[in-house]
């Protein structure tokens, strides 16, 4: 069975600080990887995704993530966060043949002005 | 021109009642999903339909019954509501190719269900 772990449950940063959120998954086969963001009171929006190719993927709003197959990781990064990045961030995975997403427990990011 | 829409946005009801949530997508996708987000923000798949056919049915009480009249609509009916059903329910859609998703799942705005 697939599972996703997000070890940082709550992260507090000051504006302009760099961000890295961890995501590890367990699945032996080919996977598709996603990061979604949920701003307060809003629905899930896709930040970025990885299907194949270059393991460093760039998403919207200056976010990027790196797929490291040997570590089963897909960490999210942003060099300089803004107050507007305050939100809940979810890592998700689906493996070949599994059509639904398996989500991590989410990381709440709070950016202080 | 909302891609995935849900109604209602908020639903407050008493224990024991029956309620429905509706979802519509105008993206032309062939697969739709219901996810449940609990009070700790954990998201879990409940059901998925592909071209009106049920393809995923996780361990969900049979008080929950999804219905897909066509591939653009997926409704969720809940009988005999319980306190533990309080959550945010998200609908999503995607286009499935082969045996896996090669496109993105797009989510609706969610329906916050509160059972009193």
Q: What is the pLDDT of residues B30-50, one digit of tens each?
A: 899 999 999 888 999 999 988
Asked whether the predicted pLDDT for residue B3 surpasses 70, the reply is: yes
Q: For residues A62 and B76, what is the distance between their CA atoms, to the nearest angstrom?
A: 36
| Residue A59 forms contact with B (CB below 8 Å) | no
pLDDT confidence bin for B98, thresholds 50/70/90: low
Tokens linked to B4 = 């995935």
Q: How many other C-beta atoms are found inside a 10 Å radius of the C-beta of residue B79?
A: 13
Is the separation of the CB atoms in A104 and A23 below 8 Å? yes
Predicted pLDDT of residue B103: 67
Asked whether the predicted pLDDT for residue B27 surpasses 60, the reply is: yes
Tokens linked to A102 = 């398996």
Is the separation of the CB atoms in B82 and B113 below 8 Å? no
| Nearest CA-CA distance, residue B97 and chain A, Å | 10
Q: Strand, helix or coil at B85?
A: helix
Is the separation of the CB atoms in A6 and A17 below 8 Å? no
Contacts of residue A10 in chain B, CB cutoff 8 Å? none
Taking only residues 83 to 102 of chain A, the set having a beta carbon closer than 8 angstroms to any beta carbon of chain B reads 88, 90, 94-102
Q: Return the minimum-mean-pLDDT range out of A34-38, A74-78, B27-31.
A: B27-31
Contacts of A79 (CB under 8 A, 6+ apart): A18, A19, A62
Q: For residues B80 and A84, what is the distance between their CA atoms, to the nearest angstrom?
A: 40
Q: Mean pLDDT throughout A49-66? A: 94
pLDDT confidence bin for B102, thresholds 50/70/90: low
Polymer length in residues for chain A: 113
Asked whether the predicted pLDDT for residue B83 surpasses 60, the reply is: yes
Task: Of B41, B37, B40, B77, give the one whose Cα is nearest residue B61.
Answer: B77
Predicted pLDDT of residue B97: 62
Nearest to A46 among B35, B100, B104 (CB): B104
Q: Phi/psi of residue B3, each to 5°?
A: -75, -50
Q: Phi/psi of residue A71, each to 5°?
A: -105, 0
Predicted pLDDT of residue A81: 97
Q: Phi/psi of residue B90, each to 5°?
A: -110, 135
Contacts of B2 (CB under 8 A, 6+ apart): B26
Q: For residues A57 and A37, what is the distance between their CA atoms, to the nearest angstrom?
A: 16
Q: Mean pLDDT throughout B108-113? A: 95
Q: Mean pLDDT throughout A59-87? A: 95
């Amino acid at each position: 069975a697939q599972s996703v772990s997000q070890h940082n449950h709550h992260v507090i940063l000051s504006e302009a600080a760099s961000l890295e959120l961890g995501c590890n998954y367990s699945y032996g086969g080919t996977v598709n990887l996603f990061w979604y963001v949920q701003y307060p009171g809003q629905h899930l929006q896709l930040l970025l995704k990885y299907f194949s190719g270059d393991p460093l993927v760039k998403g919207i709003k200056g976010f990027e993530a790196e797929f490291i197959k040997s570590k089963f990781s897909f960490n999210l990064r942003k060099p300089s966060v803004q107050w507007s990045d305050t939100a809940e961030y979810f890592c998700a995975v689906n493996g070949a043949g599994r059509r639904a997403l398996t989500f991590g427990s989410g990381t709440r990011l709070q950016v202080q002005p | 021109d909302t891609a995935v829409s849900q109604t209602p946005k908020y639903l407050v009801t008493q224990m024991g009642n029956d309620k429905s949530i509706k979802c519509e997508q105008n993206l032309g996708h062939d697969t739709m999903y219901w996810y449940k987000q609990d009070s700790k923000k954990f998201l879990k798949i409940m059901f998925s339909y592909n071209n009106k056919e049920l393809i995923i049915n996780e361990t969900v009480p049979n008080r929950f019954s999804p219905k897909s009249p066509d591939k653009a609509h997926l409704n969720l009916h809940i009988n005999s509501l319980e306190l533990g059903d309080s959550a945010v329910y998200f609908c999503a859609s995607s286009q499935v190719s082969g045996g896996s998703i090669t496109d993105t799942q797009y989510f609706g705005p969610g329906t916050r269900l509160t059972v009193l």
